[in-house]
Amino acid sequence: MDKTPCQVCRGIHNITPNSVSSIQIYSSNSSSNRSAIDPDQADKQSEASREITGDSSLLSKVSETERKIKLVQELHHSYLEANIPVLKDLVKSLRPQIKDKSFEELADTVEMLCHRLGSHAREEDDSIFPMLLEVANGRKDDTAKNFIEDIVEAHRIENETIWRMLAQLCKGSALLKEKHKKQELEELYLHIADLKENMIGHLEKEVDLYPELLQMLGLEVIPLARLRLPFQQ
């Protein structure tokens, strides 16, 4: 899986203890070992669905769901994997330099957001995306229905929280960089703004995963409207 370069640095960040200045030039040959989808297993599941149902449309839904999931992973999860350590390192390096209550609050929020985003991506890779593939493959039992309904509600709450934190961080980091005139604060501001832009695409693609799967399960698509954030309304 190719990693997405940071739009600020135009490179993939080195996740060693060094900070933002330590980056690797982006290469389309670079890859991540993390993947929610085992290609061999996905192929077997797709083939089994076709043999059992004889329905090429089901196979098409599986392929489309796989494509959408891979987009989220390649464009957004890999981005988080590269940029979260940079944000943490910047905050860590700035803490001893800036004795300002507003910075301490911002730094704490950055660390909380990084933890939340990391957990968000891991949960998707480990449990949510595999279940979406099972539904695309034809699973329709009550466990699957309840799981998907719970995901929609959980994402609504999570998306609102993430967006609120990002808005707060963008505003706070903009004020701090003007007040203290430090290069590291400028970098922190740029990385937060870049993260916000990436998360817009991330959340939009997440919402796009569900409509057909909800219909396949006989569930209402209306609840998806609750996932929309202010920038989408």
Residue with token string 């832009």: 197
Identify which of 198, 186, 66 has the alpha carbon closest to the alpha carbon of residue 132.
66
Q: How many CB atoms lie within 10 A of CB 69?
A: 26
With bands split at pLDDT 50, 70 and 90, how would you rate the model's confidence at 48? very low
pLDDT per position as a tens digit, 6-23: 666 655 554 343 333 333
Nearest-angstrom CA–CA distance, 74 and 68: 10
H runs (alpha helix) in the chain = 39-53, 56-72, 78-94, 101-123, 129-136, 142-180, 183-208, 211-216
Output the pLDDT for position 46.
Answer: 45
DSSP codes of every residue in 74-100: IIIIHHHHHHHHHHHHHHHHHTTT---
pLDDT per position as a tens digit, 104-150: 999 999 999 999 999 999 999 999 999 999 999 999 999 999 999 89
φ, ψ (nearest 5 deg) of residue 61? -65, -40
Output the pLDDT for position 143.
Answer: 95
Nearest-angstrom CA–CA distance, 152 and 204: 13
